[in-house]
Structure 1
Amino acid sequence: MTSSIRNGKGHRAYRRKQQRLRREGRDCAWCGKPIDYTLPATHAMSFTADHPDAVNNGGHLYAQDLDPMHRRCNSIKSDSAAPTIRPPG
């Protein structure tokens, strides 16, 4: 069983940062297109919060800001290097 501290999703700091991103309504940090924040969490184009420096690559869970991404973009990025912002269109 993975603890909520280890995976970061149950941690209050993570949740606060995630909610702040929702309020800001920023575009996807990977593809640059707008995110529909009203989509259900299971939708491919729904909002998810990404750790810019992947935890698997030595990034810190709590010490970094999060980036808004589409669930699909976050899946494509996986734990690879920092994204290159692509112009929308």
Structure 2
Amino acid sequence: MKKNYTQRLGPFRQEYERNKKKILMFQDTCALCGKPVDKRLKYPHPMSATIDHIIPIDRGGHPSDICNLQLAHMCCNRAKSNKLQANQEEGVKAPPSNRVLPWSLDWTKYKADSKV
């Protein structure tokens, strides 16, 4: 017998599908690894696009809230499974998140061009 996933069945299905379309339309980068997602790839390709729950449903995350959904590669999403990111610093009270992307630029060394 299959599990009853609340985002596929029940009252959250329509909202989940609407939010999934928005995410696929506006996001292009895997929220877990930071690399581009090729949306032309289809399941079961490991680099195909999937929707990841930032806070897994079985850990109290909302099944269809757009704030709890993000774009991810299927292989990244499978590797994450239902884990939450551990806070790096002890004693820091921060909301749980899995949005750890590599920095694209070290902004501490940025100097504006004076020719503006």
User: TM-score, structure 2 length as denominator?
Assistant: 0.65
Which residue is equivalent to 2:101?
85
Which residue is equivalent to 2:20?
18
Runs of 4+ in 1 over 4 A off after TM superposition: none
Q: Quote the RMSD (CA, aligned, Å).
A: 1.9
Deviation at 1:56, TM superposition (A): 1.2
Change (3 A) 1:41 1:52: same
Q: Which has the larger radius of gyration?
A: 2
Percentage of matched positions with identical amino acids: 29
* Structure 1 Cα separation of the partners of residues 39 and 14 of structure 2: 20
Change (3 A) 1:72 1:87: farther
Larger proportion of helix:
1
Deviation at 1:2, TM superposition (A): 4.5
Instruction: Give 1:12's aligned amino acid.
Output: Q
Which residue is equivalent to 1:8?
7
* Structure 2 Cα separation of the partners of residues 24 and 64 of structure 1: 12
Unaligned 5+ segments in structure 1 are none
Deviation at 1:87, TM superposition (A): 5.2
* Structure 2 Cα separation of the partners of residues 49 and 9 of structure 1: 12
| Corresponding pairs, count | 86
Which residue is equivalent to 1:60?
62
Higher mean alpha-carbon deviation, 64-73 vs 28-37, is at 64-73
User: TM-score, structure 1 length as denominator?
Assistant: 0.82
> RCO (CA 8 Å, sep 6+): is it higher in 1 or 2?
1
